Amino acid sequence: MTVEIKAPEKIKKGEVLEGTVIITLDKDVKFRDVIISFDNTITYPNPCKKNFSGWNLVSVSQQYLDKGGRLRNAMIPFEFSIPREAPPSYKGEYIESTWQVNVKIDIPLSFDIHAEKYVEVER
């Protein structure tokens, strides 16, 4: 069972991140939805380590899949427009900003399947 995310390693603010999620499962699986998002997490120690961010971009996969059906193999294209005001990726002494593509296959009455890939957002 694999969920592979094909996307560039770096992208600039204001550009479009395009990629593909390749799903290869061992058997047919009943699923509710496949959610693909591009999320930013900002971490800072103040006074303990905290994570927050208001940036969460979600891709719509309904046009490529029959929601509520069965899933075994699929190739799902995605794209995210990175706003110019989005925070860039950064790692400093007191703050860290990371971006990652997240994939969640929502499976009823079972564990969901997850995959993630970090992508650097440049200034």
Query: Which residue range is the domain that position 81 belongs to?
Result: 2-38+54-85+100-122
In a domain, 63, yes or no: yes
CA-to-CA dists, residue 8 to 29, 49, 58, 85, angstroms: 29, 29, 17, 20
Query: What is the distance between the alpha carbons of residues 113 and 102, in angstroms, rounded to a whole number?
Result: 11
Beta-carbon contacts of residue 62 (< 8 Å; ≥ 6 apart): none
Residue with the two structure tokens 């957002």:
121
Domain CATH for 115: 2.60.40.640
In a domain, 92, yes or no: no
pTM for this predicted structure: 0.86
Q: What stretch of H or E contains 90? A: strand 90-91
Domain total of the chain: 1
Show pLDDT as tens, one digit a residue, over the chain (123 residues). 899 999 999 999 999 999 999 999 999 999 998 999 999 988 877 666 666 666 788 876 556 677 778 899 999 999 999 999 999 999 988 888 999 999 999 999 889 999 999 999 998
**Tell me, what's the pLDDT at 1?**
82
Query: What is the distance between the alpha carbons of residues 7 and 89, in angstroms, rounded to a whole number?
Result: 16
